[in-house]
Chain A
């Protein structure tokens, strides 16, 4: 019988070894994630009262023990939504330009490399850069400045994700539509958009997720306030900073409120990513792979 398992053969050992490594790394990642979630939930949940999500802070500025963090929730929603919309307005043209004019040329490669580098730059650098710009333009810490900096942070992620989507667009598809007598506009509107929409949605929500969780960039640029923001030119509160400030407090009750804020942020990010998965699966039903 030449078909029995030969366990001690080298290639089987290699297989076993690689499998073990993969399992171990999975356990490490899953464990770390579990631990983080456990910390946030176990410490934050007790402080997560109805007041936390429906009221603004009462007394003692944001370090107080009363009231809620509605100001930060709404501020973050404004910041991330505004930043994402601005980033879409910049990313989509760049991604289309990359496809239409630069393609896989040397310049295209340069632009992609720059975007990848920008992606890797820590957000505190964006914050400092934004701050420097604000001084030049005489802008004070405000919702508008925060939105602009978040848009800059989201830009590379969004552009590269869109670029990949657009590059994967099968050329056959456009030709098929043109062969039926479509105009180029009809091809773009009815065929290309349908094919790319799921990927674009994913790109946008990915960037939104990064934007809403970022603390360092809004620290200098958006400031903080106890009030719900009503003006683009005034400072705004944000969830990441609510977490940051409250966790830094020496009082356990305030710290606990910080964990509650982190929990809210996590829930929002989770909801956004589940929503984006659901949406892109729905839109993806008809796309050509």
Chain B
């Protein structure tokens, strides 16, 4: 497997409570990996180790390695802002920045000094809004507050904003759970379109969404990875009893 992210002996503790137990997994390049498992099993925690968001939580401790393209992102020499630029995050609830739709997209490009002049920024804003499928809806109101958009539109804006800093990896923590069915479907089809170009890791609590999106599946239970493998194999022929029970909807 051509692994984009490789996790070695990863343990995470919140205070004394252990949230991840000796996780060893590989996440394939330019495919959609879905992390599933019952609530509280550590899906969000695992995702947060990929963009070093765990260090924003007081009392969270981490041991082990997370390699992105073979480089340990927890290495002392690594710049956390570069990690987060390369590993984008689509949060559970969209959170637009307190600025216009246009400036929301520009923000990331601006702090990373990615464009030279206003013309380039304008072109980039259009480009990424088109990718997120939002351009037609907002092209006439680019300078309205981002909060004036519907929740579904806001989540697509957040997707566009994340893509604008040119990440290689997209993380999504139940990115459709706050959305209505049509908006959810919209985000799902964006993610499917994008997978040729990005490595995508999505946490989901709905099995059906997992089946629609997944190329590769990680099943977790109580802080441990129980099973990981290509979606076809895991869904049709789970090796582990717990995975089987989960897929049959027993809990």
Name A's B-contacting residues (CB within 8 A): 170, 172-173, 175-183, 186, 190-191, 194-195, 285-289
Contact of B100 among A170, A183, A190, A286 (CB under 8 A): A286
Choose from B84, B98, B100, B146 the contact partner of A180 (Cβ within 8 Å).
Answer: B84
Instruction: Describe A's contact surface by its main secondary structure.
Output: helix
Known: A175-B53, A286-B100. A181 touches B85 (CB 8 A): yes
Contact residues in A for B250 (Cβ distance below 8 Å): none
Contact B93 A172 (CB under 8 A): yes
In the complex, what distance in Å separates the CA atom of A288 from the CA atom of B111? 21
Q: Flag if A172 contacts B91 (CB, 8 Å).
A: yes
Q: Which A residues are CB-close (under 8 A) to B95?
A: 170, 172-173, 175-176, 288
Shortest C-beta distance, A284 to chain B (Å), equals 9
Chain A to chain B contacts (Cβ below 8 Å), 8 pairs: A178-B53, A178-B56, A178-B84, A179-B91, A180-B85, A182-B111, A183-B81, A190-B111
Contacts of B88 in A (CB 8 A): 179-180
Cβ-closest chain B residue relative to A194: B98
Complex Cα distance, B93 from A186, in Å, reads: 22
Contact A182 B89 (CB under 8 A): no
CA distance A94 to B162 in the complex (A): 35
Within 47-81 of B, Cβ neighbours of A (below 8 Å) are at 51, 53, 56, 81
| Min CB gap A192→B, angstroms | 9
Query: Smallest Cβ distance from B124 to chain A, in angstroms?
Result: 14
Establish whether residues B93 and A191, one from each chain, have CB atoms under 8 Å apart when the complex forms.
no
Taking CB atoms, residues of chain B closer than 8 Å to A179 are 51, 53, 84, 88-89, 91, 162
B44 interface residue (CB < 8 Å to A): no
Asked if B238 is an interface residue, CB under 8 A from chain A, the answer is: no
Task: Identify 14 new A-B residue pairs, CB closer than 8 A, beyond the known A173-B98, A181-B111, A183-B111.
Answer: A170-B95, A173-B97, A175-B53, A179-B84, A179-B89, A179-B91, A180-B88, A180-B111, A180-B162, A181-B83, A191-B98, A194-B97, A194-B99, A286-B147
Interfacial chain B residues near A170, Cβ < 8 Å: 95
Return A264 CB to nearest CB of chain B, in Å: 38
Is B145 engaged at the interface, CB distance under 8 Å to the other chain?
yes
Find out whether the CB atom of B112 lies under 8 angstroms from the CB atom of A181: yes
Q: How many A-B residue pairs have CB under 8 A?
A: 75
Q: Decide: A175 near B56, CB < 8 A? Known: A180-B161, A286-B145.
A: yes
Q: Any chain A CB within 8 A of the CB of B231?
A: no
> Which chain B residues lie closer than 8 Å to A194 at the CB level?
97-99
Residue of A nearest to B100 (CB): A286
Q: Is the CB of B158 within 8 A of A176?
A: yes
Tell me the minimal C-beta distance from A285 to chain B in angstroms.
6
- Please tell me if B130 contacts chain A, counting CB pairs below 8 Å: no
Docked complex Cα distance between A198 and B100 (Å): 16
Whether A176 lies near B97 (C-beta < 8 A) is yes
Residues on B with C-beta less than 8 A from A286 are 98-100, 145-147
Is B38 part of the contact surface with A, judged by Cβ < 8 Å? no
Distance (whole angstroms) from the CB of A224 to the closest CB of chain B: 46
Residues of B within 8 A of A173 (CB): 95, 97-98
| Interface residues as binary, B87-111 with A (CB distance below 8 Å gives 1, 0 otherwise) | 0110101011111100000011001
Asked if B165 and A195 sit within 8 Å, CB to CB, the answer is no
User: Is B165 a contact of A190 with CB atoms below 8 Å?
Assistant: no
> A282 to chain B: closest CB distance in Å?
12
Contacting B81 at CB < 8 Å: which of A172, A176, A181, A191? A181
State whether the Cβ of B193 lies closer than 8 Å to any Cβ in chain A: no
CB distance from B197 to the nearest CB of A (A): 18
Q: Distance in Å from the Cβ of B60 to the closest Cβ of chain A?
A: 14
Complex CA distance for A183 and B80, rounded to whole angstroms = 9
CA distance in complex: A178, B84 (Å): 8
A182, A186, A289, most chain B CB atoms within 10 A: A182
The answer to whether B162 touches A285 (Cβ under 8 A) is no
- What's the nearest-Cβ distance from chain A to residue B107, in Å? 7
Closest to B52 in A: A178
Interface residue B82 (Cβ < 8 Å from any Cβ of A)? yes
Q: With A and B bound together, what is the CA distance between A246 and B56 in angstroms? A: 60
The answer to whether A288 and B85 have CB atoms under 8 Å apart is no
Chain B residue with Cβ nearest A193: B98
Among A172, A179, A183, A186, chain B packs the most CB atoms within 10 A around the CB of A179
A222 to B55 Cα, complex, angstroms = 52
Render B133-162 as a binary contact track against A, CB cut-off 8 A, 1 for contact: 000000000000111000000000010011
Given A194-B98, A195-B98, residue A176 in contact with residue B84 (CB < 8 A): no
What is the distance, in angstroms, from A181's C-beta to the closest C-beta of chain B? 4
Closest chain B residue to A198 by CB distance? B98
Provide the residues of chain B in CB contact with A190, threshold 8 Å: 107, 111
Enumerate chain B residues within 8 angstroms of A182, measured Cβ to Cβ: 81, 108, 111
* Residue pair B53, A287 in contact (C-beta under 8 Å): no
Kindly list chain B residues whose C-beta atoms are within 8 Å of the C-beta of A289.
147
Contact across chains for A287 and B98 when beta carbons are under 8 A apart: yes
